[in-house]
Amino acid sequence: MWKNMAVIRWLVVALMVVFCVDEVRSDHKYKPGDQVPLYANKVAHLKEKPEALGEVLNGDRLVSAPYKLDFMAEKDSEKICRKTLTKDEVSIFRKAVAKDYYFQMYYDDLPFWGFLGKIEKDKTDPNEEKYYLFKHLHFEIHYNNDRVIEINAKADPNAVVDITEDKEVEVEFMYTVRWKETNVPYETRMEKYAQSSSQPHHLEIHWFSIINSCVTVLLLTGFLATILMRVLKNDFVKYAHDEEAADDQEETGWKYIHGDVFRYPKYKSLFAAALGSGSQLFALALFIFILALVGVFYPYNRGALFTAMVVIYALTSGIAGYTAASFYHQLEGTNWVRNLLLTGCLFCGPLFLTFCFLNTVAIAYTATAALPFGTIVVIVLIWTLVTSPLLVLGGIAGKNSKAEFQAPVRTTKYPREIPVLPWYRKTIPQMAMAGFLPFSAIYIELYYIFASVWGHRIYTIYSILFIVFIILLIVTAFITVALTYFQLAAEDHEWWWRSFLCGGSTGVFIFGYCLYYYYERSDMSGFMQTSFFFGYMACICYGFFLMLGMVLVLLLVPNAKGKGASRTEITCLDWDIKLSP
């Protein structure tokens, strides 16, 4: 049965990939005079183009543009329409020009952009500014035999209309089309869109970020190796020479609480659910990286990333169910149905509530970011027919798994009292220390990601991003292992939740960077933009919190050797340090 399920999963993923690149699979061949599709983004009250799920989630609303750019048909000063702009429309256009608004269109699946107008100093009064609206566009299209290779749109700087004052203005919009032959092959026509993020000066910054991160990893490795070996050296010598003499000596530090280290954590159902949700998000990240590295998300493949995220998240819900239920079973939990419900809602619940609020805001602002009712129904059906059944199947498999939690040392009946700890050993300071170094290893790359998601840059160097992701995992693992050891050395045996919080604390730092980016690097303003930015970024940072916390807890879970081992056969977490001879 599970083999068949695996085959079905990969078939669905393959179909998803095909649907993500629906327009690329056609041959895009035209004859002279054939109509080539031209769409404008986020323009209302025109003939709409049928859109894929990812395009709708991305906020794209493509409609047929009024320009007629037939294949190899040149036009000179062709009129589109004549319109009288009202005072309110003039004011709206002037604000758009002042904020550098631009239009976005797609011609034969090739994106291009153009500004709406320009601002110039008044010739009579240099302190005043004049606002002009472009009314004549020049399209320059390159072709190779029967295929479109490149398109550029430039506005005629002399064909403008003054919109400085709030008064009615009559405008006649026109356009010109010129065709040029090129030798650039069709297969490489998308490469120019990737050049903006792979230019030499940008690559230098990316590689500097990676080198900086690698240095951090080396320093942490040396720090851990030096400190831990020095601390444990005496223990190795003592236990290796005379175990009985070691038993007679008074134990201190982490050896003193060996009977409490593997005591089950509080709120074990929530803990197992957090591990399950984190494992699903980790699997989602890996699959997204695989698709990115094989070239599925080429520049401006509209909606492919969002479609992939929805489909893969639905298909990986079985991983969440299996991880949560199996771990809950090992912790001797009994109410596994409630545990599965908690697992399914731990991440989707906050995300759903956030979506409901933000979609209501978008509807109130009549923005295209508001999802249509049909799209919402599709997402609900995916969650009902795919996500939930796979979550239950994974939970059943995890519940029936034979794995048992076999701690390498017996747990005492009553927990020892935790001594009073200094302030810097409390949870919040430890989280701050655990999250700072991993964040410092990735913060340079964060700017490019934010500029791509919330700005107008293009991010295509997925290989570098994957390297940074691996470095993030390594740095987070090293610092959290060290802090967990120091916590046990201070005779604080409640390490389960502390390690999860320390591992996921990088997500808190990323949200702190969101505040900096919003106020210092972006031009976003208004209630809608603010709510969308912080609402969805809070969900993303929460996902990072769950994912990194899960990775670190599973790393720290002991590699059990068997039940009822003597107290000198302590496996120090995942380091597998065996103290008996």
Q: Tokens standing for 547?
A: 């994912």
Residue 349's contacts (CB-CB under 8 Å, 6 or more residues apart) are none
H or E element, residue 39: strand 38-41
Angle at 28 between CA 78 and CA 113, to 5 degrees: 50
Is the pLDDT assigned to residue 49 strictly greater than 70?
Answer: no
- Report the distance separating Cα 300 and Cα 296, nearest Å: 11
Is the pLDDT assigned to residue 560 strictly greater than 50?
Answer: no
Q: Residue 256: what pLDDT? A: 67
Is the pLDDT assigned to residue 544 strictly greater than 90?
Answer: yes
Q: Tokens standing for 552?
A: 């670190």
SS3 state at 9: helix
pLDDT digits (tens, 9 = 90+) for 312-349: 999 999 999 999 998 898 888 888 889 999 999 999 99
- Report the distance separating Cα 354 and Cα 347, nearest Å: 11
- Residues comprising the chain, all counted: 581
Q: Residue 241: what pLDDT? A: 54
Is the pLDDT assigned to residue 506 strictly greater than 80?
Answer: yes
pLDDT above 90: percentage of residues in the chain: 26
Domain chopping of the chain, boundaries: 65-188, 200-237+424-558, 267-412
Q: Please give the residue that has the higher pLDDT: either 231 or 85.
A: 85
pLDDT digits (tens, 9 = 90+) for 352-387: 999 999 989 988 887 777 888 888 888 889 988 999
H or E element, residue 172: strand 169-181
Question: pTM of the predicted model, to two decimals?
Answer: 0.74
- Report the distance separating Cα 23 and Cα 50, nearest Å: 12
User: Band of the pLDDT at 218, cuts 50, 70, 90?
Assistant: confident
Q: Residue 306: what pLDDT? A: 83
Sign of torsion over alpha carbons 319, 321, 322, 323: positive
Compute the half-sphere exposure of residue 95: CA atoms within 13 Å on the CB side of its CA.
6
